[in-house]
Amino acid sequence: MIRLFFIIIFLLTGKSAFSQYYFVERGRIIFERKVNTHAILPEVIGESGIVAKEEFVTFFQKYKADHPQFWIDSFQLIFNHDSTLYKPAGSITPFLHGIGVPMADRNQVLADLSSFQYFAEKNAYNEQKVIRDTLTKIRWKLTDEIREIAGFECRRANALINDSVYIVAFYTDAIKTKGGPELFNGLPGMILGVAIPHYHISYFATRFEALSKSEKMTTPNFLFQKSKIKQIDYFNEMLSYLQEKNLDSPWMKVFIRL
């Protein structure tokens, strides 16, 4: 009788109601990472000196004519009860459509949520760096706002990262794994959406796929690389390089720390 009741509820109200009652233990989530390049280029490129100030207006007009407004790439997050593996889903568009120095644009992150440890491979001016560190505990503030994402009913939460960067996230408690894209974590369920409004960066789930018990999370090759560094060392190395190129804008500092 109870089973029949839930079947009726599902048929009447669709996927969102289903996700409230059915708890997912393993699966694959496809995320779309989107950056509004028209909004960030005046800061990232315009103040760098790469393009002369008197030529920037012409450069920017040509960029808008030749490139789409949004830099969009797909990533997949494979998860089980206490682990997540985040990596590109297919090819990655050249960094900022090829006009910037490649930095952290094709991240891979393996997170052990039970120990709060993670391994990450990040791009650094066309070289790969492997990071081993502890997940940052984010202080989230839950709200009453609800939004449907990839068929799941999600609740909004807000937080500050890196001391001052405001972020908005949406999570579902239908997936108990407390992870998310990149290094975002710590909500009462899976994070299916993240927006960093001031920096025009967002990650939102577009599709969910259930995995069978026989399908296992593959171990990424970078895990076996001997040379590993801390996140702060990676950040400082990248920052030093960007300063040499006069590309150390606030946007770049945020992006390479995600």
User: CA separation (Å) from 142 to 15, 88, 145, 171, 258?
Assistant: 23, 29, 9, 10, 21
In 3D space, the residue among 151, 168, 121 whose CA is nearest the CA of residue 10 turns out to be: 151
Q: Is 247 helix (H, G, I), strand (E, B) or coil?
A: coil
Contact assessment for residue 115 and residue 100, using Cβ atoms and an 8 Å cutoff: no
Tens of pLDDT, residue by residue over 34-57, are 999 999 999 998 888 888 889 999
Q: Give the bridge partners for 193, in sequence order.
A: 170, 204
Say which DSSP state 222 is in: G
Q: Is the alpha carbon torsion for 247, 250, 253, 257 positive or negative?
A: negative
Q: What is the pLDDT of residue 22?
A: 57
pTM, two decimals, is 0.89
**Residue 167, C-beta contacts closer than 8 angstroms, at least 6 positions apart:** 158, 159, 160, 161, 184, 194, 195, 196
In the chain, what percentage of residues exceed pLDDT 90?
72
The answer to whether residue 16 scores a pLDDT higher than 50 is: no
Mean per-residue pLDDT of the chain = 89
What angle, 0 to 180 degrees and rounded to 10, lies between the N-to-C axes of helices 37-44 and 53-66? 160
b/e map 187-213, b = 16+ CB within 10 Å: bebbbbbbbbeebbbbbbbeebeebee
Q: Within 10 Å of residue 85's Cβ, how many Cβ atoms?
A: 20
**CA dihedral of 28, 141, 122, 86, whole degrees rounded to 10:** -10
Tens of pLDDT, residue by residue over 203-235, are 999 999 988 777 778 889 998 988 999 999 999
